[in-house]
Structure 1
Amino acid sequence: MLAKQPLARRIVIAFTLMTLVVSGTFALGIVGVVHFIEEHLVTEELGRELDTVLNDVLVQRSAPRLDSATRFFASNLSERAIPKAFQGLADGFTEVVRDEDAFYVYQRGVGGEKYLLVQEQHEFEARENALFNVVLAGFLLSVLGAWGLGRLMANRVMAPVSRLANQVRHRDQLHPLAPPLALQYPDDEVGHLAAAFDSTLSQLRQTLERERLFTADVSHELRTPLMVVLGACELLEQAELPDRAQRPVARIRRAAQEMHALVDTFLLLARARPEQASFGGAASLQSVAAEQSERWGPLLAEKGLTFELIEEARDDGAYNHTLLSTVMSNLLRNALHYTERGTVRLMLARGGFRVEDSGVGIPLEQQERMFQPFVRGAEARGEGLGLGLSLVKRICAHQGWEVGVQPCEPQGSCFRVRLNAGDA
């Protein structure tokens, strides 16, 4: 459990536990020493005092000279008979506790007789309790001070680490001209960590730059042959071709237009810098939906599906035409591939839209994976590679949109895209 705690908290806990162990050991040592000294000092004191009392009683035949807290008992003196509480004790020092009273007893045997000197502990116990209270207070203050000092030390130790984490987390670090992090830290463990981050971030920048250049170059080079294909299709459509030949020409033109739209999308994403905000635009949700309805409606009808374009609420937002068209087109294509019968609906709302179908649906455990590259449903249809939904996810992430999927009742899937903070 301790390993899962934040590092700063672990430092405080370790510092406090160390002080707890050291202070506790020291306090227990003091208590043990006090008891040891108590026993030996009291033994010596009572032994000397008993010698004096025996000299007064046995030699000088006089009354013993004792203070008010000390009493003398003897087995051969009826007036000083040994009480039952002190009978049967071994010779030497003994501590006797009776009810709420405590006594020091020192017994010595002389000529077969027992002589006891009994001293009340009240005064010594009071001093001992005062000492123990001081030790306890010192122990608690040490632990509390260790906790405060541990927090102070943890904050000082973790300050450069937290600063480094915030710098690495900032998106400006992916900028090609971002300054090295290691130059801002001394040559210690944090400096070495910063140097490691510099190396990793440099490799990441190079990889992103290569990917951006590759995507831009490929997309740019594809534009020329696509324009040739589209131009040839227009010429063929203007020619008087038989119906049998017009259908393949129309199919080629649609495929070329789809590829042209994808090229534009990839170019936009390739030109986007990590620090760049989303692309703006002037296209309305309704106009893009009308274009996609005109494009995909006939294809859905050819498959025997019913297509419905429903405007639940008016949306007044302005969006990037290329990116919004790509998102909507990929979702409609997905519905076309995975729906064999029934209806496909494009539902427009304020701040977003939904694509609902009556197809095979997506199991709950696969819904998150469907937006990963090269992942297709268990009942894959069409000739795709599983990149359509991942492209949708990438565009939405760049634009600040949200895309999700949920099951439709009684069958099918519902893909929901939120274009802003409004309800979709």
Structure 2
Amino acid sequence: MYRHSLRTRVAIAFALCVAVLSVAWGLAFFGAIRFSEDRVLVHQLQRAAESYPALTTNLRGYDEVGSLPESLREWAQTNPDEGIYEFEAEELHVAVLSTGNEEPSAGNKQPRAFVVFDVAGIEAASSEDWWWLLLITGVVGTLGALGFGLGVVVMRRAIFPVVQLANVVADIDVEHLSAEDHKRIESSRFGDDEVGVLAGTIEKTLERISAFVARERYFTDSASHELRTPITVITGALELLEQSDLSAADEKVVDRIRRATLDMKTTIEMFLCLARETDDGLYDKQFLVMPLVSQAIEQQRHLLNGKLVDVEIDQLAKPKVCGHPQAFSIAVNNLVRNAFEHTLAGQGPITILIKEHELLVTNQVSALVTNQEGADEQPTPAEASSFHGYGLGLGIVQRLCERNGWSFSLHADEARVATRLSW
């Protein structure tokens, strides 16, 4: 349980990290300054002790240029401006100051005084400077590493609830949700901050999805029984009728009922196949394509009665498909039925091409029809209107293909309609 929001905790963590690093750097610089002071004084004392009992003086004043050390005389004669100068080769620091209280007259120069500080033996040698530079670099690098480690620890502590929630959500298999998955979130342990709100929303969402999946499974199981039972009863009644003496008109009616019943059975199976979450491992079965194509043609051939349209099957291969056989059969039935329904009399042939990895169904839609006088004419607007849409089942075919990892495409123009099913 956290008393502050995630935003506040992150801000506090950042401020704490900056404060600790600032204190560490401040102490480091303060220690370096004190060490430098002590080092200079110690070196001065050591140099004085080495010349004991005749004590040397590192700091001396000169009023005349001639009294300066020989290495500085030539430079002093150039009348340098007031200030502090350093001569590294001679290991001397020189302060130039003016001793006159009045303005110099024309042509005269302001008298100068020189304060010379001999740092020989006090300043560190060049080789020693490199060692100090290496030491300082090591200290700075160590402080940087400690600061980075501290920042990582503090920020991890601040965003730990987010990482914890992400790990819990990542462990949930969204493809196979169970009724207990939402309880794994346990939103109450995240408090009432932003992470708690997010965890509560995810928990409620998963709970609703789990309830929906349970209702869907119950519905499909019930619908599978309740919808197929009437179809079975009708099919049995039709078989009894076919065994009795029927007139020609009655046989046509029974045949229409049988076809309608078959269409209804196919439609029910199609929608149940789309609604089910699982189908008992049927999505990895292997089956031949040609038997299902032949079965679809026989089931839908009644749609070509009286149209004088031929069906040409060109089998270039004998492919096997891995997937759901019932879904593939439903898809092929839809493609064949749409081709048969939207082909008018004389607008043939309908071609079915079977390749190694695809099935192509093509039907003509713009052939000229012959009227009673023997003249050629275009189809009437009423006839042409039936060409648009090409059946509601093609949208279902698209969903079946997506579910099984197949691909479906349709190409329609003024001359023909071509549907392609690839696997």
User: Which stretch shows the higher mean deviation, 181-190 or 196-205?
Assistant: 181-190
Quote the residue 1:357 is aligned against.
Answer: 362
1:290 alignment partner, one of 285, 288, 294: 294
User: In the TM superposition, what is the alpha-carbon distance from 1:303 to its structure 2 partner?
Assistant: 6.9
2:329 alignment partner, one of 325, 332, 357: 325
Quote the residue 1:241 is aligned against.
Answer: 248
How many angstroms apart in 2 are the aligned matches of 1:382 and 1:296?
A: 16
User: In the TM superposition, what is the alpha-carbon distance from 1:387 to its structure 2 partner?
Assistant: 3.9
Amino acid of the residue matched to residue 163 of structure 1? N
State the secondary structure of the residue aligned to 1:211. Answer: helix
Residues 168 and 197 in structure 1, CA contact (< 8 A), matched pair in contact too: no
Residues 182 and 207 in structure 2, CA contact (< 8 A), matched pair in contact too: no
The alignment's TM-score, normalised by the length of structure 2, stands at 0.59
1:134 aligns to 2:135 (yes or no): yes
1:106 alignment partner, one of 80, 84, 95: 95
How many angstroms apart in 2 are the aligned matches of 1:18 and 1:128?
A: 35
Deviation digits for residues 365-408 of structure 1 (CA, Å, limit 9, x no counterpart): xxxxxxxxxxxxxx942453864234424xx52xx443243879
Quote the residue 1:116 is aligned against.
Answer: 115
How many angstroms apart in 2 are the aligned matches of 1:142 and 1:292?
A: 78
Written as runs of structure 1 = structure 2, the 5 A alignment for 1:8-407 is: 74=62, 76-80=64-68, 82-84=73-75, 87-91=79-83, 94=84, 96=86, 104-111=93-100, 112-119=111-118, 123-124=123-124, 126=126, 130-145=131-146, 147=148, 154=156, 157=160, 160-169=164-173, 171-172=175-176, 174-176=177-179, 180-182=183-185, 186=189, 196-227=201-232, 235=241, 239-241=246-248, 246=252, 253-268=258-273, 270=275, 272-273=276-277, 277-278=281-282, 284-296=288-300, 299=303, 307-315=311-319, 321-333=325-337, 345-349=351-355, 353-357=358-362, 380-382=388-390, 384=392, 387-393=395-401, 397=403, 400-405=404-409
Quote the residue 1:373 is aligned against.
Answer: none
How many angstroms apart in 2 are the aligned matches of 1:135 and 1:218?
A: 80
How many angstroms apart in 2 are the aligned matches of 1:209 and 1:333?
A: 34
State the secondary structure of the residue aligned to 2:171. Answer: helix
Q: 1:170 to 1:348 in 2, by over 3 A?
A: same
Q: 1:274 to 1:191 in 2, by over 3 A?
A: farther
User: In the TM superposition, what is the alpha-carbon distance from 1:146 to its structure 2 partner?
Assistant: 5.0
Residues 308 and 346 in structure 1, CA contact (< 8 A), matched pair in contact too: yes
User: In the TM superposition, what is the alpha-carbon distance from 1:326 to its structure 2 partner?
Assistant: 0.8
How many angstroms apart in 1 are the aligned matches of 2:27 and 2:90?
A: 26
How many angstroms apart in 2 are the aligned matches of 1:308 and 1:414?
A: 15
Deviation digits for residues 323-361 of structure 1 (CA, Å, limit 9, x no counterpart): 2211222334455678897775544455x542343789x
Deviation digits for residues 10-61 of structure 1 (CA, Å, limit 9, x no counterpart): x9xxx9999799759965996699689979x99xx99xxxxxxxxxxxxxxx
Deviation digits for residues 48-97 of structure 1 (CA, Å, limit 9, x no counterpart): xxxxxxxxxxxxxxxx9556xx8x68462325265548853435xx3548
Amino acid of the residue matched to residue 80 of structure 2? G
Residues 182 and 204 in structure 2, CA contact (< 8 A), matched pair in contact too: no
Amino acid of the residue matched to residue 137 of structure 2? L
Q: 1:216 to 1:263 in 2, by over 3 A?
A: farther
Residues 306 and 344 in structure 1, CA contact (< 8 A), matched pair in contact too: yes
Residues 346 and 355 in structure 1, CA contact (< 8 A), matched pair in contact too: yes
How many angstroms apart in 1 are the aligned matches of 2:206 and 2:168?
A: 13
Structure 2 unaligned regions, length at least 5: 1-9, 45-54, 101-110, 366-386
Deviation digits for residues 94-116 of structure 1 (CA, Å, limit 9, x no counterpart): 35488x99864333433443213
The alignment's TM-score, normalised by the length of structure 1, stands at 0.58
Amino acid of the residue matched to residue 397 of structure 2? L
Q: 1:354 to 1:197 in 2, by over 3 A?
A: same
Amino acid of the residue matched to residue 168 of structure 2? L
User: In the TM superposition, what is the alpha-carbon distance from 1:171 to its structure 2 partner?
Assistant: 4.2
State the secondary structure of the residue aligned to 2:123. Answer: helix
Q: 1:182 to 1:401 in 2, by over 3 A?
A: closer
Aligned-pair identity in percent equals 18
Residues 332 and 355 in structure 1, CA contact (< 8 A), matched pair in contact too: no
Quote the residue 1:4 is aligned against.
Answer: none
How many angstroms apart in 2 are the aligned matches of 1:117 and 1:334?
A: 109
Structure with the greater alpha carbon radius of gyration: 2
How many angstroms apart in 2 are the aligned matches of 1:132 and 1:330?
A: 82
State the secondary structure of the residue aligned to 1:354. Answer: strand
State the secondary structure of the residue aligned to 1:168. Answer: coil
Residues 301 and 307 in structure 1, CA contact (< 8 A), matched pair in contact too: no
Residues 24 and 139 in structure 1, CA contact (< 8 A), matched pair in contact too: no
